[in-house]
Chains A and B, each alone.
Chain A
Amino acid sequence: MSGAVLRRGMLVAYTILVFGFIFAPIVSTIVFSFNADRFPSLPWGGFSLQWYEAIFADDTIKRGLMNSLTVAGATALIATFLGFAAAYVDYRYRFIGKSAYLALVALPPTVPVVILGVAMLTFEGRVGLSGTITGIIVGHVVLSAPFAMALVRMRLADLDPDIERAAWNLGATPWATMFGVIVPFCLPAILASLFLTAAVSFDEFMIAWFVSGLNETLPVRVLAMLQGQVSPRINAIGAVVFGVSITLVVLAQMLIGRRLGRTAKEG
């Protein structure tokens, strides 16, 4: 019996080690962002907010943050609308070429971002979008719409298709049914998708790096700063980005979780 306990203990210890490797860079970013010393080494130099003060005094970083927030907001709205529309089409209709349609909407995340970045740059250079905020938004929507579609589609899977038909038979127009039945039913997934796509956009750096030109987003600014010397300010930015993204993801998770909880209760 103690052999089994020992084996389980070793497996758990190993798992903790793997998680330690995964989380060491994240934890160290946060810990050293509050470090008073310039160089991130042990022992810790004491608590300080100077790196946060430094980044909020830096105009290029502030502008990057504003650009990132603008892009993330616009991306979330457009990607969620497109994702919702595609999920609804998948849920409601059967037509020739449907799998091609779905593949087109779902595939972008499987293409490496470095390739999406070059493709966006060469294309947007032609149509005059490269270097603009709009250009970054366009690329981010392509990348994040599939996530929105997946979230809404999961929610729609729980909706009995007959409900919509019943509404139609009772004389409701498709539009009335959409805004009276489908959209309210999908609301948690729609909100979750807004937060998730915003978080995806807020963290994306490769497409933006190729396309952004002078309108750098925050992650692109970080990439530029990496080329310089060791700077604890990167830790502070990383911690801020972490805070924003995790807030968005936790909000999304809570909305999906509430849905799961409710379904479980109903079931």
Chain B
Amino acid sequence: MTSPTDAVSAPSTPPGTRRATGARFAVFWGAPPLIWQLAFFLVPLGFLVAMTFWSVKNFRLAPDSTLANWIFILNAGFFRSAYVYTFWLSALTAVLASLIAFPAAYTLAYKVSPATRRFMIFMLVVPFFTSYPVRIYSTQIFFSPQGIINTVLTPLGLGPLQVLNTATGTIVGYMVLVLPLVVLLQTFALSNVPRILIEAAHNLGCGRLRTILTVIIPSARIGLIVAGTFAFVLAFGDYVAPVYLGGSKPPTLSILIADQVKSGNNWPRASVVAVTMIVTLMTVMLVMLGLAYGKRGAKR
């Protein structure tokens, strides 16, 4: 058993022990991520759902199985209008951001050198690592009555521009949040369109606009839809832009949640709002994925 050939051909430990080591090894690496995300991601989310059936008695939470929170929130006028407002604003953001980003993504994908493209892509990652509340604070100052934009516009007779504390302000803030990501995802989507398709379209006498509409956009469809969906998801869940640029009026769903938790201390009602948001987002994502990966549809 001591010769080198034996050591190579036969494992020094019996096969049974080896299998046990293998299993212990797999569990050592597999279990921690599973346990952590179960305990601190899935359980809290499940707890959030359970809490929607709890009751608040004398300002104290009590485990319960009442539908009162659901009935109250779903029938509350302030919730319904906030829901419609948030949904509409986020959808508008997704569409606007997609339209605004497209020419820029098109330029980055087709009109600049690869080195420039790489640099610009790196630049687009930078905003994710700057403090978003600080960026919103800066935007607030830009648009304030004595801010830079109005000091430029007023002498031209175009101002003063009222953006703060309006829905426009909220949209501007959403753009600060989502535009870097949308441009980034669209650039990736357009870069992946096979060049041969575009050249073939040109050779066959297809005009620029027609190439974009009939070749590039359909080929990049999945990426474009994913980009728009991300814009919707980010805007739908954002709290900072509607508070500091939209002035909290009318409130969005995240403002309702924060209010119920921070001042009302009514966690069950906040949970109901949060669960409706999760359900909405899951529905939107499923619909959009169906749209992205589904059949080409009647268009063709």
List residues of A whose CB falls within 8 A of some B CB: 7-8, 11-12, 14-15, 18-19, 21-26, 28-29, 32, 39-42, 78, 81-83, 85-86, 88-89, 92-93, 101, 104-105, 107-108, 110-116, 118-126, 138-139, 141-142, 145, 149, 170-171, 173-175, 178, 199, 203, 205-206, 210, 219, 222-223, 226, 230, 234-235, 237-238, 241-242, 245-246, 248-249, 253
Contact = CB atoms under 8 A, between A and B. Distances in A.
B36 A141 contact: yes
Interface of B: 7-8, 11-12, 21-22, 25-26, 29-30, 32-34, 36-38, 40-45, 47-48, 51, 100-101, 103-104, 106-108, 111-112, 120, 122-139, 141-142, 144, 146-148, 151, 175-176, 179-180, 183, 208, 233-234, 236-240, 244, 254, 257-258, 261, 267, 270-271, 274, 277-278, 281, 285
A223 B141 contact: no
Contacts of A141: 36, 40
B104 A205 contact: no
A127 B111 CA distance: 55
Contacts of A219: 131, 133
A112 B131 contact: no
Contacts of A110: 233, 285
Nearest to A126: B47
Given A174-B21, A175-B25, A21 B175 contact: yes
Nearest to A196: B129
A31 B137 CA distance: 14
Nearest to B29: A85
Contacts of B237: 112-115
- 7 closest A-B pairs by beta carbon, nearest first, are A112-B237, A238-B134, A25-B138, A123-B44, A245-B129, A119-B44, A86-B33
Given A22-B180, A82-B36, A234 B137 contact: yes
Contact of A238 (B51, B122, B131): B131
A189 B37 CA distance: 22
Contacts of A14: 103-104, 107
Given A15-B107, A85-B33, A241 B131 contact: yes
Contacts of A11: 103, 106-107, 111
Contacts of A174: 21-22, 25
B126 A249 contact: yes
A4 to B, nearest CB: 9
B244 A226 contact: yes
Contacts of B38: 104
Contacts of B254: 112, 114
A118 B271 contact: yes
Nearest to A101: B34
A15 B104 contact: yes
A108 B37 CA distance: 9
Contacts of A85: 29-30, 32-33
A120 B41 CA distance: 8
A257 B42 CA distance: 34
A19 B271 CA distance: 38
A171 B11 contact: yes
A28 B139 CA distance: 9
A22 B176 contact: yes
Given A41-B147, A126-B47, A104 B41 contact: yes
A121 B261 contact: yes
